[in-house]
Amino acid sequence: MVYSSFEDADLPKVNPNENLETISEYHLLSLFPVEKFQIRAEKDRDKGIDFHIELKKEISCGKLAYTNYHCAIQLKATNTIQQSEDGSYGLQLTTSNINYLLNNPMPAYYIFYHHPTKTFFYENVKNFALQLQNKNPKWHKQQTHKIYFNKRLDKKAVQHIYDETYAHGITLKHINQFINPLENRNNSDRLIIDADFEVYSVAQNIEFIDQFGADLVNKNHFNTVIEVEKRSWPRDTATPRFYLFCGIAYYQRGNLYKALELLNDAKKLSDEFDRQGQAIIEHTILSARYLLDMITKDDFDFQMEKINSLVDAGSFFQIEKANETLSLNRAQPATAIIKYYNSMKKIIENEKSAIVRIVAYNKIMEAESSILLHDLAVNFSFFIGRAEKPFQSRAFIEWQQLERKFLDRLKAIAEYANKCGYHMGSAYLTLVSIKWNYEKAIHIHYLGCWNKRNFDLHQPVNALIVQMFEKLCNSLDQLSQLYQTNDYIENMISSMILKFQIQHFSGKHEEANGTKTKILHAIDEHGFNGLNKEYESIFNMGTAHESFVEKYTKLMNSLQDSASEKGFDPYRMLGEREMNYKTVWSIKDFIELDFSILPAGNDIENQRSGDG
């Protein structure tokens, strides 16, 4: 067969741009691995999208599956555009094309191929539109815009496109479960998308806090509760338990006005709570109002006494009532502690919550520490200032034996709290332990320097005790930091107050004043105006050691005066037998501690996990 020459035939001419498109498409396809991407070209009636790319995913059996998660690609290629000084390549785009790609519910990308260097660049269309919006809110009224490509399309960028597209696919999947644009929906059905692209309706958030709020609050997950509450807007209404648990969370984080708002909403629906729930609402509202200086200390104490007097107010309030009853019967501590132990036994025996038990044990340790130190001072009153070696006395030796038992119990409760994961309970016991060492040091120091009618206040505190106090202050700093990190502001201030007293007792008045300044700043910063009045007395001659000196001096002078009236010499030195004649201890047997209750396994956090 003879072929004619085609050189002069009238045939379609080759467009160089078409060749360039073919080359760029070929190289582009090689960048997207087939095990992850299915690329489909869009050639019919092209309006701006050159490829739709569907993601593939490996499933449990090891095979690949299609996801129906897509992204859109518009490919631009050039031989002529020169590189700018900053290394980017500028390309003019029409506004209509940008808007067209933005209408895609899945991510869309511009991909630019620079043929001379055989290099690909890319940009997310949404990110480009945001740049335009930040520069000019009316950008859409302009016909064209210039995009500058500077991000290389390499393996890392391709993986980023996969991850971004997959995340959007998961989000849209979850949204589709909730929305129907043609339905009328109320505020509680509105959707929230979290940082992990999980989607929830406001109604679901309210239901979550209603169901799991008690566990979250008991485990001190206050931030979780607050985050969910913030994402539960707008809402027409919510459940009473939602308002209660959110109010408690805001209270614990020091946002008292927000706490009052939510707790007052809970109070309006208080008929739906049992008596314990009602008591919790009243208690937290009272505490917030007191801290904000809305009510006086007397009003607070009066209202709290009414709450604690309710038989069915719940374990926490029964614990508070038992401790208040004990403090009111300090004139007869031996009888009062037996009644106190009996009350606490009944509460603990019926309590299946490990956290409530730890709270009860913490209160017991506080009560015991107060009584043990009281008894030490009482026993010393028989021979203080009249014995050569008071710390070799029978009274002090027996007291040390009681102290060892007390400290062993303190350690055991701390271990139990940590085992239960109740670290704030363990932190509180650390505060109790430091307070014990401070108040013990007060007694040891002053009971050894009584002179006739007064304490010798010029006698310096033992250097070893001062050295111990420096370590305790470091521990209090760490404790304060822990409380501050977890937004337990009241506890943080309590730690600082104890540090102030220790520094003052040690004679480090300049450092104590520095701590005082920090305390006042913290109170002012968080608006806890009620604490100003509460701590004012401590800053004005009312530290624990100053109060001890004042009260014990009055006691001893009264005893001496009474002895003189009866014809006894209150200043005569005593012999060893007289000094060791009798001892009086209010606590003979400590209450038994039961550590058998452990918290059940609970994965609250997993209740909201998605399936993506």
> Three-state DSSP class for 26?
helix
Residues 266-318: pLDDT tens digits? 888 888 877 777 778 888 888 888 888 888 888 877 877 776 665 454 666 67
Strand-pairing partners, residue 37, are: 55
Scanning the structure block, which residue is given the tokens 């015991």? 368
CB distance 196 to 207 below 8 Å: no
**194 or 65: which leads in pLDDT:** 65
CB distance 72 to 52 below 8 Å: yes
Buried b (16+ CB within 10 A) or exposed e, 446-466: bbbbbeeeebeeeeebeeebb
Per-residue pLDDT, 606: 44
Residues 21-70: pLDDT tens digits? 777 787 888 899 989 999 988 766 556 788 899 999 988 777 888 988 99
CB distance 370 to 544 below 8 Å: no
Per-residue pLDDT band at 203 (split at 50, 70, 90): confident
- Look at strands 89-94 and 64-78 and give their pairing: unpaired
Residues 500-527: pLDDT tens digits? 999 999 999 999 999 999 999 998 888 8
**Which amino acid would we find at residue 188?**
S
Q: What percent of the chain has pLDDT over 90?
A: 39
Per-residue pLDDT, 19: 61
Q: Average the pLDDT over 257-272 and give the result.
A: 87
Per-residue pLDDT band at 329 (split at 50, 70, 90): confident
Per-residue pLDDT, 45: 53
Among 305, 321, 261, 308, which Cα is nearest to 285's?
Answer: 261
Q: Residue 365: exposed, middle, or buried by beta-carbon count in 10 A (0-12, 13-18, 19+)?
A: buried
422-431, 444-453, 554-563 — which is least confidently predicted? 422-431
Among 486, 529, 526, 531, which Cα is nearest to 255's?
Answer: 526
CB distance 198 to 150 below 8 Å: no
Residue 373 has pLDDT above 90, yes or no: yes
Token duo for residue 302: 């009066």
**Average pLDDT for the chain:** 84
- Rounded to whole angstroms, the Cα distance separating 415 from 411 reads 6
Phi and psi (nearest 5°) for 44?
Answer: -80, 125
Question: 3-class secondary structure for 193-214?
Answer: ECCCCCEEEHHHHHHHHHHHHH
CB distance 610 to 170 below 8 Å: yes
DSSP 363-415: HHHHHHHHHHHHHHHHHHTTTTTS-S-GGGSHHHHHHHHHHHHHHHHHHHHHH
Greatest C-alpha distance within the chain: 152
Buried b (16+ CB within 10 A) or exposed e, 582-595: ebebbbeeebeeeb
Per-residue pLDDT band at 610 (split at 50, 70, 90): very low
Per-residue pLDDT, 37: 93
Residues 430-483: pLDDT tens digits? 999 999 999 999 999 999 999 899 999 999 999 999 999 999 999 999 999 998
Scanning the structure block, which residue is given the tokens 């501690």? 593
- Rounded to whole angstroms, the Cα distance separating 18 from 23 reads 9
